[in-house]
Structure 1
Amino acid sequence: MQKDITYLTTAELAEKIKYDTRTIREQLKDSVLIEGIHYIRPFGKRKILYLWEQIRDDLGKFSQASTMVPMAKGGVAHG
């Protein structure tokens, strides 16, 4: 069964996540937004389409991970 995918342009993604389009293109793309996971280039062309469901699912993961402090015995402290 094929799940529905919402394709967004950079401007549409910027509106949803409240980031400037320039920030998405210059800082997030290829650092936290990875080609083939978070965005595609349809037909191998220059245009980029972002995959909303994958971005939405991963959005909170980076935030949660950055507040965790590793502990000596392998656990983490939530700081």
Structure 2
Amino acid sequence: MAYTYLTTEELSSTIKYDARVIREQLKDRVLFEGIHYIRPFGGRKILFIWERVEEEMLNGITTESLLLK
């Protein structure tokens, strides 16, 4: 399956949340590394996996969603 990767700024524009809110309030509280975003090549840059973020927005976080991904 091909995924769509978005930077924080691109995700911000897509979901209409400020990039700062994504970085400070959503990342690691609602959006988790390895599930909703990755750090390619072990670097500092964060790429959000759009399909996973969208699924989370539509369905919410469940224990099952954390275990399955």
SS at match of 1:37: coil
Displacement of 1:60 in angstroms is 1.8
User: Per-residue displacement from partner, 1:6-61 (whole Å, max 9, x unpaired)?
Assistant: 00000000011000000000000000000000000000100000000011111122
Q: By percentage of residues, which structure has more strand? A: 1
Question: What is the aligned counterpart of 1:32 among 30, 40, 50?
Answer: 30
| 1:36-47 alignment runs, 5 A limit | 36-47=34-45
- Corresponding position of 1:56: 54
**Structure with the greater relative contact order (CA < 8 A, sep ≥ 6): 1 or 2?**
2
Where does residue 67 of structure 2 map in the other structure?
none
Query: TM-score w.r.t. structure 2 length?
Result: 0.84
How many residue pairs are counted as aligned between the two chains? 62
| Structure ID, larger Rg | 1
Residue of structure 2 equivalent to 1:21:
19
Q: TM-score, normalised by structure 1?
A: 0.74
Helix, strand or coil at the partner of 1:50: strand
Partner of 2:65: none
Following TM superposition, where does structure 1 have runs of at least 4 consecutive aligned residues deviating by more than 4 angstroms? none
**Which consecutive unaligned segments of at least 5 residues does structure 2 have?**
63-69
Amino acid corresponding to residue 51 of structure 2 in structure 1: E
